[in-house]
Amino acid sequence: MAWLLEPVPSQAELAERFRRCVAQGNLIIPGAHDPLAGLLAKRAGFSVLYLSGAALSASYGLPDLGVLTLEEVVRRAERLVQATGLPVLVDIDTGFGEILNVVRAAQELVGAGVAAVQLEDQEMPKRCGHLSGKRLVSPETMAEKIRAIKRVCPTLCVVARTDARALEGIEGVLARSRLYLEAGADAIFPEALESHEEFRQVRQALAAPLLANLTEFGRTPPLTASELFALGYEMVLFPVSALRVAAHAMARFYTHLAQHGSSREYLEQMQTRAELYELIQYNAYEDFDQEISNWGSGGRGY
């Protein structure tokens, strides 16, 4: 998809595609922190992408403490949608404030073509879901935010994340999730569960689409997507994995370059110029430019 040259699907169409993918189940959602990562994920066969607040923050050299602005998130999300034409689930943390802030965020993201948002029930300043020090808003406050989004932006899918496991246990996760579903949430994201058994408990208790987060180096054990699909989870998320792999590879390369002043030893590990041009459809833009030039000089165009 040469996105400058082709129409992008509408937000309503992308949201409906997201719902269909969730309903079909067995949906692995990779994090894509920028459009190039999104194109690579699409090339690999993924049908839905995730814009992680943690990954986007890291790409700006910032910690995941809710310091991103709405404009930064909307701009990156819009570019990701435009470049890939895929449904994107966007992490909006706590919604950038109270009810009216949340409504504005939803409206801006719908305008950017975003299919779905993930909203969480932490207080600001928020924390990574797998770290300590989290504080929760009341479940009623979170429910009000969900109701506001669904009233103003009915096509936008809402994945309600609860961080209650660490503070209120599994019973807190379930009680909050039920309230969020009553408020209109389309799916539930129980963050930082600590065992296969806890995932099973949540699945058995909730009759709604569920998202499991398999972020690395956190409280959740290294399960596989297949194990969670077998429990009945519709979605499995790998939010920061690609960024971690890329950052590790770049760190090794920069160290090598600083020590040796050469990239020759890394050529076999690089994406070639031809591969990059194919991914971003360089030739399509060249052809379009030439076609328009031919029109101006009396050529036949098509």
Under the banding of pLDDT at 50, 70 and 90, the label for residue 50 is very high
- Residue 194's nearest CA partner among 212, 176, 174 is 212
**Selection from 233, 227, 183 nearest residue 208 by Cα:** 233
- Which residues of the chain are in CATH 3.20.20.60 domains? 11-239
CA dist 43 and 253 (Å) reads 24
Please name the helix (run of DSSP H) or strand (run of DSSP E) that holds residue 148, with its range, or none: helix 139-152
Q: What is the per-residue pLDDT across 181-207, written as a single tens digit (0 to 9) for each?
A: 999 999 999 999 999 999 999 999 999
Q: Which helix (H) or strand (E) holds 36?
A: helix 35-43
Task: Give the rounded percent of residues in the chain with a pLDDT score beyond 90.
Answer: 84
Give the pLDDT score at 302: 43
Residue whose token pair is 């040259």: 5
Q: Say what the pLDDT of residue 289 is.
A: 83
Question: What's the pLDDT score for residue 226?
Answer: 98
* Predicted local distance difference test score (pLDDT) of residue 218: 79
**Confidence check: pLDDT of 3 > 90:** no
Task: Determine how many CB atoms are found less than 10 A away from the CB of residue 252.
Answer: 12
pTM for the full predicted model: 0.93
CATH class of residue range 11-239 = alpha beta
- Cα–Cα dist 182/298, whole Å: 63
pLDDT digits (tens, 9 = 90+) for 248-301: 999 999 999 999 999 999 999 999 999 999 999 999 988 888 888 887 665 544
Average pLDDT, the chain: 93
Q: Does 92 have pLDDT greater than 70? A: yes
The confidence band for 106, taking pLDDT boundaries of 50, 70 and 90, is: very high
In contact, 106 and 133? CB cutoff 8 Å: no
